[in-house]
């Protein structure tokens, strides 16, 4: 059976295919940088397209909407296609639509290009974790997903500031043009180092409602929403939040601390995801929740705030690996479809974090953020705690009785 959770005999090796996994990580890196690049270049994009800053900001919204609307239907539509063909399709999408963004002088065309770049990202995110799992033996799936997800914290900590600097130095159009050049090199990398696999035969594909009702899938998705709402509430409004500690001029330092800590979190998740997934999820949620309470009391102290940001970064860094592994395990042969649902939940949390943060900021100011985060994380913790049989089972994820669809 050709599915994201089926591993053929020739794949049962002890050596991780690092070159191929890092190509997947580079794909994730491009997804994140392409999504967030306009946020740091709004004045330049506004001037270049002769629109207001608020309209220029819709280039970020259009990208997110493309991901949300396309992830599930495109995953279903391409489930029978060769896997590398689908991966290359998403990367070529970035090449085409980042190039259009770089040369477009019309606002409507730029907005359309951003929407379809988001479509490419939605399909890519639903593919990456399952692809990484399929490239390795069962015992290495957690580590493989951790490596494939490492592009996200690198993009958030280094890629976005570098892209912003580049855009302000040589122009925002060149920033998108350079993204297209990186995409060309990634296409060659994928062709050389990423193995190809068959898609699912028509009779093997699980219907969307069936996957959604699979025990464990809904609890994991609920934890994704609660956890990422809390994260994006703070990340979206990090500038006004750190201003209370007189760090408004050092947001780059705060984000660097967060990004480096997130890399540590990726490493921790890679070590623990197979043998203690449930425990690591619960400890991460608990640590982030307690950090929120600390921020609620001592956020005005710069040293405390930086330590809290580092703790937050560690818990976030491993979240993608932990949650996508739990979701794919629960869904078994419906893993690709479940991971497309994860894309929708994740992006909805990004939008929801911005919306909730805006409401709280206008009503009570940034002092309300930590308490709202703590509440969301408590909800996520309780859901994960209750999902001890399906979703986040105790013990080694490959122990007898764990239903992984093999």
Closest CA to 346 of 316, 301, 367, 310: 316
**Tens digits of residue pLDDT in 38-82:** 876 777 888 899 988 778 878 877 888 898 898 899 988 998 899
Q: List, in sequence order, the alpha helices (H) in 237-363.
A: 238-243, 251-272, 277-298, 302-317, 319-331, 335-363
- pLDDT band of residue 251 (cuts 50, 70, 90) is confident
Mean pLDDT for all residues in the chain: 87
Structure tokens at 123: 């399909």
Q: 9-204 with 208-386: one CATH topology?
A: yes
Q: What letter does residue 135 receive in the DSSP assignment? A: T
- Res. 10: pLDDT tops 70: no
Q: How far apart are alpha carbons 173 and 184 in whole angstroms?
A: 17
For residues 217 and 211, the answer to whether their CB atoms sit within 8 Å is yes
Query: Above pLDDT 90, what percent of the chain?
Result: 52
Mean pLDDT of 140-159: 83
- Res. 231: pLDDT tops 90: yes
What is the reported pLDDT for 359?
87
- pLDDT band of residue 403 (cuts 50, 70, 90) is very low
Longest dimension (CA), the chain: 62
- pLDDT band of residue 400 (cuts 50, 70, 90) is low
What is the reported pLDDT for 405?
41
Using alpha carbons only, how large is the chain's radius of gyration in Å? Answer: 20
The CB density around residue 61, as the number of other CB atoms within 10 Å, is 16
**Tens digits of residue pLDDT in 19-41:** 999 999 999 999 988 988 887 67
- pLDDT band of residue 6 (cuts 50, 70, 90) is very low
**Look-up of token digits 């105790």:** 394
- Res. 12: pLDDT tops 50: no
9-204 adopts what CATH topology?
Growth Hormone; Chain: A; (1.20.1250)
Structure tokens at 5: 């959770």
Annotated domain spans of the chain: 9-204, 208-386
Which of 154-163, 221-230, 248-257, 325-334 shows the lowest per-residue confidence on average (mean pLDDT)? 154-163
Mean pLDDT of 308-315: 96
Q: How far apart are alpha carbons 175 and 161 in whole angstroms?
A: 12
Closest CA to 3 of 80, 85, 90: 80
Which of 3-12, 167-176, 287-296 shows the lowest per-residue confidence on average (mean pLDDT)? 3-12
- Res. 105: pLDDT tops 60: yes
For residues 126 and 24, the answer to whether their CB atoms sit within 8 Å is no
Mean pLDDT of 113-139: 91
**Tens digits of residue pLDDT in 341-375:** 998 998 888 878 878 888 888 899 999 999 999 99
Query: Could you tell me the pTM of the whole model?
Result: 0.82
208-386 adopts what CATH topology?
Growth Hormone; Chain: A; (1.20.1250)
What kind and span of H or E run contains 30? helix 18-36
**Look-up of token digits 């860094």:** 317
């Amino acid at each position: 059976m050709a599915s994201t959770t089926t591993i053929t005999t020739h794949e049962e090796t002890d050596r991780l295919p690092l070159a191929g996994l890092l190509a997947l990580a580079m794909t994730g890196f491009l997804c994140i940088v392409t999504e967030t690049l306009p946020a740091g270049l709004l004045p330049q994009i506004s001037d270049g397209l002769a629109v207001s800053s608020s309209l220029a900001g819709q280039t970020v919204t259009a990208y997110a909407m493309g991901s949300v609307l396309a992830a599930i239907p495109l995953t279903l539509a391409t489930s029978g296609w060769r896997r590398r063909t689908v991966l290359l399709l998403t990367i070529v999408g970035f090449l085409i639509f980042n190039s259009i963004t770089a040369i477009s002088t019309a606002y409507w065309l730029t907005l359309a290009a951003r929407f379809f770049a988001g479509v490419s990202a939605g399909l890519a995110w639903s593919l990456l974790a399952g692809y990484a799992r399929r490239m390795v033996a069962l015992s290495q799936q957690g580590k493989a997903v951790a490596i494939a997800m490492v592009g996200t914290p690198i993009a958030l900590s280094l890629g976005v500031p570098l892209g912003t600097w580049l855009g302000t130095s040589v122009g925002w159009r060149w920033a998108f043009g350079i993204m297209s050049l990186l995409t060309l090199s990634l296409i060659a990398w994928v062709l050389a180092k990423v193995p190809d696999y068959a898609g699912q035969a028509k009779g093997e594909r699980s219907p969307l409602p069936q996957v959604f009702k699979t025990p464990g899938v809904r609890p994991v998705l609920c934890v994704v929403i609660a956890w990422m709402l809390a994260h994006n509430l703070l990340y979206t409004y990090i500038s006004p939040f750190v201003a209370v500690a007189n760090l408004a001029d050092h947001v780059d330092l705060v984000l660097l601390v967060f990004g480096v800590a997130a890399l540590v979190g990726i490493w921790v998740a890679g070590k623990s995801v197979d043998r203690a997934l449930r425990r690591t999820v619960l400890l991460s949620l608990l640590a982030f929740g307690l950090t929120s309470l600390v921020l609620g009391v001592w956020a005005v102290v710069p040293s405390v705030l930086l330590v809290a940001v580092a703790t937050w970064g560690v818990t976030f860094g491993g979240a993608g690996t932990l949650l996508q592994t739990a979701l794919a395990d629960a869904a078994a042969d419906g893993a690709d479809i479940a991971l497309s649902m994860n894309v929708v939940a994740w992006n909805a949390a990004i939008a929801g974090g911005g919306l909730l943060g805006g409401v709280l900021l206008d009503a009570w100011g940034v002092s309300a953020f930590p308490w709202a985060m703590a509440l969301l994380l408590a909800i996520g913790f309780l859901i994960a705690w209750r999902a001890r049989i399906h979703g986040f089972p105790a013990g080694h994820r490959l122990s007898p009785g764990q239903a992984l669809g093999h």
